[in-house]
Structure 1
Amino acid sequence: MFVYEEKNELIDFWVEQFKTAFINQNRSVEYVAGADATKKNIESYSSVVIYGAVQAFTFKGPVRDWLKSDVNLAGKKVHLMVTASRWFASDYFKQLKKLLTKKNAETINAVSAATPKMSNTEKTTFVNNFIKNIP
């Protein structure tokens, strides 16, 4: 299962990069926005890929809210990627990692990046490299 913040023009680019990377690696993945993730039963999934993004001019965090809910991630293999401006990437990344620890998730891969100066090609490469590290 792939959980991302929400559908909007800034995040859509990243979600499309993930979709393309998953397809290129012949992976079947369910895509769920953070606000809808609480409605999903994740028991059948052995791993979860989470894409968190700091959104400009808002402290909204649907992924963070989902992780604060009663979701059971105990024993799940979790892969976390966070993007943001250089000022907030680290803080949000730390918040999400802390929540994953509280949920007893097995965090396999966790990366964050300040992305404002990245070209689209660099962003695509970043996602592809992240996905390659998922067994």
Structure 2
Amino acid sequence: MRGAFTRLCAVVCIGGLLLGASQAQTPAAPDPGFRVVYNNVFTPPPLPATVQVDQSYLEFSPGVCSGFHVHGGPGIETVLSGEIVVQTQATATTPATSKTYKAGEAYIYPAGDVHNFCNMTTLPATYVSAFLLLDGAELVTPVK
């Protein structure tokens, strides 16, 4: 079931990115060094569970990190320009990791993956994200 849900997430997220281009833009309030330029949330056609797809276009200023957090559902984030470093926290079964993603590369992860996004360069970075959230799930929950 989990494999089918993950494949469904990938299909819906990619399709949602394509469909979202025609949706109205609803930018979030600006935050110093971090700005959501575009956000789109929609309910896809009937699926095995009630879900929403949440899409965002984000800009990261040089030297800015998101802070460690988790998402309420699986997602995919694709770097459009610059570089983003994804740091993950260690779990009982996996070590902490840090990997740099460049323009055109994507980071795919399951819900509950504790991670931090950073722009460690001197240039701005942008990326798009798409998340499949079960009804009532939070998009982002900070982790201390």
TM-score using structure 1 length: 0.28
> Which structure would you say has the larger Rg?
2
Query: Whose RCO is larger (CA < 8 A, sep 6+)?
Result: 2
Q: Which has the larger share of strand?
A: 2
Calculate the TM-score normalised by the size of structure 2. 0.27
| Structure (1/2) with the larger helix percentage | 1
